[in-house]
Amino acid sequence: MKSLIKIFAAFAAALLAFACQQTKVLPVEISVQLFSDNEVLAQSGVTVSLADAAGTATFEAITDAAGIAKFSVNPGSYTASATFKNVEGGKKVVYNGSNTAITVAAGPVEAPFKLELQKIESQQLIIKELYSGGCMKDDASSAYQNDKYVIIYNNSEFDADASELVIGMLNPYNANGSNKYYSGDNLIYANDNWLPAGGAVYYFKNPLTIPAYSQIVIAFFGAIDHTATVSASVNLANAEYYWMSNVDIPGYTMSKYVAADVIPASHYLSGYQINAGTAWPFSNNAPALFIGKMDAASLKALCTNTEAFDETAGTGNINWAVKFPKANVIGALEVFGAAKLDASNYRFSSDINTGYLKLTYQLGYSAYRNVDKEATEALSENAGKLVYNYALGTQDVDGSTDPSGIDAEASIAAGAHIIYLQTNDSGKDFHQRKFASLKK
């Protein structure tokens, strides 16, 4: 009997092993090919990343002379992405893009998957930092969020004329808000020439030049010393700073719109109100911020012709948006709230920005742009001035950090010139900083 039992057990084990062999998932050989403007981009030596839908595995492969990267992966859903720099016609350009719709089935895959890359020429004026999430009050009773600001930086060796610079935000105000600009999985303006700007669009009333490798700070609401109220906040009472004034916008009557006496009236921005409301409804945790360039006459015509306003989100001035031309956008930052990632959707179309920065708000964190390590280290005047071992990212709390390892603010204090990264991918260009750079 024992012998029969042993024979039966061995037979059962053999059957189980055979069944496992029959159901074993075999890797599939696939390839990803680079494209730009719907034409093959035959660029060798580019690293292509392939990430599974669950975010548990990432694969990398290098393109050959035909711009093709080859992988061996299990069936499933993947996102392919790539970024590389080049010099064309004497100008620095970046190619960047992703394909989130790669589905690998069992069996052979003959045709390469397409990875369309956007060609991005470096802009002089960029968003260097956005501080919008606020911080906790001293007694930890609630969050303090009247201290928002943005830093605009001249990312070049030449002076920049910022006189026609405009600042705006997209509808909906929160990434996790109801977004009626989607048709299925696609933004209705993905292949069009406009973006839905809501709230208000701000502009500079006076001529402005930003010197090479320099910046301006713009307070959104209170251009005051907020540290007098909340110690963890920031001091925005500085004669060199600018302020998004409500003086010329009758509908904006919120008391938090104030400026310190030290800020000259010549540093007051003005704006055109688009939606009904008593204040600029800039999101605390998931904004879509853009900067652009537009002359005064064109901006006034765009923002005051209510007959041409977009009403995709609904009729009535509470839902209005202006169709801001994509051609006039020079920088964008897409932010998703860390607590509501699953409910969040992109507002910028992929020809303007891909990716997003995850932000945990109310803790004093800011969205800070990453350093372009290669370009910054290549500047001869930076010899001996760059500070490394950057430790102000939030990677230790499920956040992000600057992969360059360069401490930009410490390096600037040491006399270095910083060149920041520009890929038009908010997830690659920015990281979450432990505290606003103005806190030092």
Whether the pLDDT of residue 120 is over 50: the answer is: yes
Q: Provide the CATH number for the domain around residue 92.
A: 2.60.40.10
Cis amide bond preceding 172, omega within 30:
yes
Q: Are residues 340 and 432 in the same domain?
A: yes
Query: Can you give the pTM of this predicted structure?
Result: 0.83
Task: With beta carbons less than 8 A apart as the criterion, state whether 181 and 194 touch.
Answer: no
Locate 25 and state its tokens: 């998932």
Q: What is the mean pLDDT of the chain?
A: 92
Average pLDDT over residues 267-280: 95
Q: Does residue 136 fall inside a structural domain?
A: yes
Q: Does residue 315 fall inside a structural domain?
A: yes
**Chosen domain end from 89, 121, 153:** 121
pLDDT tier at 8, thresholds 50, 70, 90? very low
User: What pLDDT does 107 receive?
Assistant: 81
32-79 per-position pLDDT tens digit: 999 998 999 999 999 999 999 877 889 999 999 999 999 999 999 999
Cβ partners under 8 Å of residue 155, min gap 6: 122, 123, 124, 125, 126, 213, 419, 420, 422
Q: Are residues 351 and 328 in the same domain?
A: yes
Q: Are residues 93 and 137 in the same domain?
A: no
User: What pLDDT does 278 receive?
Assistant: 93
79-117 per-position pLDDT tens digit: 999 988 887 765 678 898 889 889 999 888 889 999 999
**Chosen domain end from 99, 121, 143:** 121
Share of residues in the chain with pLDDT > 90 (%): 81
Q: Does residue 314 fall inside a structural domain?
A: yes
Average pLDDT over residues 392-397: 91
352-362 per-position pLDDT tens digit: 999 999 999 99
Whether the pLDDT of residue 19 is over 50: the answer is: no
Q: Are residues 102 and 34 in the same domain?
A: yes
Q: Are residues 101 and 141 in the same domain?
A: no
Distance CA 157, CA 146 (A): 34
Q: Does residue 96 fall inside a structural domain?
A: yes
Q: Are residues 364 and 434 in the same domain?
A: yes
Cβ-in-10-Å burial (0-12, 13-18, 19+) of 11 comes to: exposed
Distance CA 124, CA 159 (A): 9
167-215 per-position pLDDT tens digit: 999 999 999 999 999 999 999 999 999 999 999 999 999 999 999 999 9
Distance CA 157, CA 428 (A): 23
Cβ partners under 8 Å of residue 32, min gap 6: 48, 50, 61, 68, 69, 71, 80, 99, 102, 112, 113, 114, 115
Q: Which domain holds residue 59?
A: 28-121
Q: Are residues 76 and 140 in the same domain?
A: no
Task: With beta carbons less than 8 A apart as the criterion, state whether 254 and 279 touch.
Answer: yes
Q: Are residues 78 and 193 in the same domain?
A: no
Distance CA 309, CA 305 (A): 7
Q: Does residue 55 fall inside a structural domain?
A: yes
Q: Does residue 160 fall inside a structural domain?
A: yes
User: What pLDDT does 255 receive?
Assistant: 86
The DSSP H or E segment spanning 153 is: strand 149-154
Cβ-in-10-Å burial (0-12, 13-18, 19+) of 373 comes to: middle
Locate 37 and state its tokens: 């403007």
Number of structural domains (the chain) is: 2
Angle value at C-alpha 341, between 337 and 345, nearest 5 degrees: 95
Average pLDDT over residues 26-37: 92
Q: Which of 131, 167, 191 is nearest to 329 (CA)?
A: 167
> Count of CB atoms within 10 A of residue 332's CB?
23
Distance CA 308, CA 343 (A): 30
Task: With beta carbons less than 8 A apart as the criterion, state whether 100 and 345 touch.
Answer: no
Q: Does residue 321 fall inside a structural domain?
A: yes
287-337 per-position pLDDT tens digit: 999 999 999 999 999 999 999 999 999 998 999 999 999 999 999 999 999
Q: Are residues 75 and 158 in the same domain?
A: no
